[in-house]
């Protein structure tokens, strides 16, 4: 895993980029003289300058601090959604793998069936119908991105369930829920957590798309998707409003997917990685 993250110059650069983005997102808004929703009446819609490094938007808000605040929101939603997908995917995969037989077949058939559907439809439906709030947003995103995780955990469980300690637990009369919770899940947790980090870029993309449509994060709160949507509207007169948030998002996603590929190779998960990357779209 160390090798995957630091083994090549490209991987090291990507780690550095991610660390920088995370650091900037955490402390940047706090260091900046501007608040993300503060208006500078003397600098409305101005190009990058010494006072506003990324320029300002159409109502005079500092774009640097907005981009970093957007990073906070986008990354936080991605992490929360990934946790939700763990809460569904890990028990699902572990139960299917441990019980085996017809239960396993039915549960995995459900996963196959869900794979076949364009998920963003369901997320849009949920968000539109049940109100646009951030909690619902990450729950909905998490609820549709657990499929890969369930498959991985099932595979790991198949290997773990024949281990001696599981047999010993069963011999001592531990019930199925107990074995799953105490013995199987803790042992498949390592690969599952690594794999869960791989779903983060997908969630970032989905969130930014929803916010782009106006269905995600709402003003004055901001996210990368909101900023790119605003920037795209103003790109003729003020291209910096598009270029800064878009390159920040692009850089982060690129670094994440380079590292994700390397992690996946290191874990030797035999599935076409392109397929997963596309499911994010």
Partner 1 sequence: MSRYLLRRLAFAIVTLLAVVTVTFFLVRLAPGGPFDGERRLPPDVEANLRAAYDLDQPVVVQYGRYLARLARGDLGPSFRQKDFSVNELIAMGLPISVGIGLAALSLALLLGVAGGTFAGLSRDGPRDRMLVLGATLGLALPPIVVAPVLVLVFAVTLGWFPAGGYATAKHFVLPAVTLALPYAAAFMRLTRGSVAEVLQRPHVVTARAKGLGPLRLVTRHVLPSALMPVVSFLGPAAAALLAGSMVIEEVFSLPGLGRYFVQGALNRDYTLVTGAVIVYAALVLAFNLLVDLGYARLDPRIRHA
Binding mask 92-111 for partner 1 (x = CB under 8 A): -----------------x--
For residues 206 and 202, what is the distance between their CA atoms, to the nearest angstrom?
6
**Positions 121 through 150 that interact with partner 1 (CB under 8 A):** 121, 124-126, 128-131
For residues 164 and 170, what is the distance between their CA atoms, to the nearest angstrom?
10
- Which is closer to partner 1, CB of 90 or CB of 253? 253
Cβ–Cβ under 8 Å, residues 211 and 217: yes
To the nearest whole angstrom, how small is the minimum distance from the Cβ of residue 236 to partner 1?
A: 6
Size of the site for partner 1 (CB under 8 A): 49
**Positions 208 through 227 that interact with partner 1 (CB under 8 A):** 208-209, 212-213, 225
Q: Does 254 bind partner 1 (CB under 8 A)?
A: yes
Stretch that binds partner 1, among 64-72, 133-141, 168-176, 229-237 (CB under 8 A): 229-237
Query: In sequence order, which residues have a C-beta less than 8 Å from that of residue 102 and are 6 or more positions away?
Result: none
Of 247, 210, 233, which Cα lies nearest the Cα of 59? 233
Q: Rounded to an integer, what is the distance from CA 92 to the centroid of its chain? A: 20
To the nearest whole angstrom, how small is the minimum distance from the Cβ of residue 17 to partner 1?
A: 12
Cβ–Cβ under 8 Å, residues 281 and 205: yes
- Which is closer to partner 1, CB of 66 or CB of 280? 280
Cβ–Cβ under 8 Å, residues 224 and 248: yes
- Which is closer to partner 1, CB of 130 or CB of 165? 130
Q: Does 182 bind partner 1 (CB under 8 A)?
A: no
Residue whose token pair is 């916010």: 211
Q: Does 275 bind partner 1 (CB under 8 A)?
A: yes
Which alpha helices (DSSP H) does 161-239 contain, by range? 164-171, 176-179, 185-198, 200-212, 224-233
To the nearest whole angstrom, how small is the minimum distance from the Cβ of residue 256 to partner 1?
A: 7
């Amino acid at each position: 895993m160390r090798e995957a993250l630091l083994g090549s110059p490209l991987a090291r650069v990507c780690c550095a980029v991610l660390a920088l983005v995370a650091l900037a997102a955490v402390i940047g808004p706090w260091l900046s003289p501007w608040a993300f929703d503060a208006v500078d009446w003397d600098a409305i819609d101005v190009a990058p300058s010494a006072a506003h490094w990324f320029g300002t938007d159409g109502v005079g808000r500092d774009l640097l601090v907005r981009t970093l605040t957007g990073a906070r929101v986008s990354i936080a939603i991605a992490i929360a959604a990934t946790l939700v997908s763990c809460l569904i995917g890990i028990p699902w995969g572990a139960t299917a793998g441990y019980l085996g037989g017809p239960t396993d077949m039915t549960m995995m058939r459900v996963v196959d069936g869900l794979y076949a559907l364009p998920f963003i439809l369901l997320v849009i439906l949920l968000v539109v119908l049940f109100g646009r709030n951030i909690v619902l947003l990450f729950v909905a995103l998490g609820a549709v991105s657990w499929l890969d995780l369930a498959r991985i955990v099932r595979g790991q469980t198949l290997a773990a369930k024949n281990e001696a300690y599981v047999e010993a637990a069963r011999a001592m009369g531990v019930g199925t829920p107990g074995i799953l919770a105490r013995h199987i899940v803790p042992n498949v947790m390592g690969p599952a957590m690594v794999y869960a980090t791989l779903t983060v870029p997908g969630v970032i993309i989905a969130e930014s798309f929803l916010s782009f449509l106006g269905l995600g994060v709402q003003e004055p709160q901001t996210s990368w998707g909101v900023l790119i949507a605003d920037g795209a509207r103003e790109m003729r007169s003020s291209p910096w409003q598009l270029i800064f948030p878009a390159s920040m998002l692009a850089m982060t996603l690129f670094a994440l997917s380079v590292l994700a590929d390397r992690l996946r190779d290191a874990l030797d998960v035999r599935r076409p990685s392109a397929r997963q990357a596309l499911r994010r779209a």
